[in-house]
Amino acid sequence: MDVNTKLVVLDKIYRVYDDFTGKLDLACQKYCAHCCTCNVTLTTLEGYRIARHLISSGQSSLFEKLQAVLSSKRFQPVVTTNKLAELCALGKDLPLESSDPAWGPCPLLKNDECLIYLQRPFGCRCMVSKHNCRETGYADMDTLVLTVNNVCLQYMEHIDAHGFTGNLSDVLDVMAKEQNRQHYKSNKLKVAGTSLIANRPIKVLMIPPEHRHEVKPILDALNRIQVPMK
Ligand code: SF4
Ligand code: SF4
């Protein structure tokens, strides 16, 4: 699948998810940005999409803003969602990972507004809450939402199986370079010396038995996504 086809599929996954969350009673609204921290993660496909947008919309200076936080503490995943699903299925120990909102706001947040809102990655789209996090201090999510989030993350990683996952600032630091974007397009991106981790195809889906019935329509919608012909 070429990169443009993957981007079309990515948009369709976003739409399936938006249809799902559109039916939920959520407190999320514009300028509510308590969840916009420096700990957001994404795949290289999403990073490629955001980088292309920053360049085409004349916002390349935001790359410098992202680079400025590379020396600060931020969440850097050590396993991808598909690897996590495999470890869970095998009953293996999961790596310890910690993330703290106190590490700071997202570098793409300005006056409580996302500078790339329409292009924001799934890690931001799937951060939803039934109650305002500013009041409660945490996002209040049903476990079903967590399951749907994981399934969508697994599909997104699957279509970017030749790519990588990492923190927003780290992925965009890689994608800021034209040569890296070209290598990414031809599945030849090398990320030695960075904190990015290799994506994997889906081997097992992370769906607990109690959610199988409710998740089925989402799975059906994801499986119905047509891969456009070139
Ligand atoms: S997840 Fe919480 S902070 Fe983020 S938009 Fe929703 S209610 Fe606001
Ligand atoms: S990319 Fe946008 S939506 Fe996501 S955390 Fe940053 S400011 Fe918030």
Confidence (pLDDT) at 56: 96
Q: CA distances (Å), 6 to each of 18, 61, 101, 147, 181, in order?
A: 18, 26, 31, 23, 14
- Flag whether 133 is in a domain: yes
Supply the pLDDT for residue 229: 58
Q: Which atom of ligand 2 is nearest to the CA of 117?
A: 2
Q: Which residues line ligand 1 (CB under 6 A)?
A: 27-28, 32, 34-35, 127-129, 132-133, 139
For the chain, first and last CA: distance in Å? 9
What the block records as the tokens of 228 is 């456009």
- Look up the domain containing 87 and give its range: 3-223
- For the chain, count helices (H), then strands (E): 10, 5
Cβ–ligand 2 contact at 145 (below 6 Å):
no
Question: pTM (2 decimals)?
Answer: 0.95
Ligand that lies nearest to the alpha carbon of residue 32, given by its number in the listed order: 1
Question: Rounded distance, CA 66 to CA 205, Å?
Answer: 33
Does residue 230 lie in a domain region?
no
Hey, what are 98's tokens?
A: 């910690």
Within a domain: 229: no
Of residues 94, 211, 91, the one with CA closest to residue 148: 211
Residues 6+ apart with CB under 8 A from 120: 114
Question: For atom 1 of ligand 1, which residue has the closest CA?
Answer: 128
Per DSSP, the three-state class of 41 is strand
Let me know how long the chain is. 230
Q: Which residue, by CA, sits nearest to atom 2 of ligand 2?
A: 114
Query: Which residue's CA is minimally distant from atom 5 of ligand 2?
Result: 36
Mutation to probe ligand 2, out of 35, 62, 114, 168 (largest number of atoms < 8 A from CB): 114
Number of structural domains in the chain = 1
Whether 50 lines ligand 2, by a CB cut-off of 6 Å, is no
For residues 50 and 188, what is the distance between their CA atoms, to the nearest angstrom? 19
Q: How far apart are alpha carbons 158 and 212 in whole angstroms?
A: 20
Instruction: Give the residue from 216, 174, 215, 210 showing the smallest Cα distance to 195.
Output: 174
Distances (CA, A) of 31 to 27, 81, 99: 12, 29, 23
pLDDT score for 137: 80
Ligand nearest to the Cα of 171, by number: 2
pLDDT on residue 136:
82
Divide the 230 residues of the chain into consecutive groups of 10 and give the mean pLDDT of each group: 95 97 91 93 98 96 94 96 96 91 95 95 96 86 96 97 97 98 96 96 96 96 78
Q: What's the pLDDT at 122?
A: 98
Q: Which of 70, 72, 51, 73 is nearest to 62 (CA)?
A: 51
In a domain, 207, yes or no: yes
Tell me, in angstroms, the distance from the centre of ligand 2 to residue 125's CA. 9
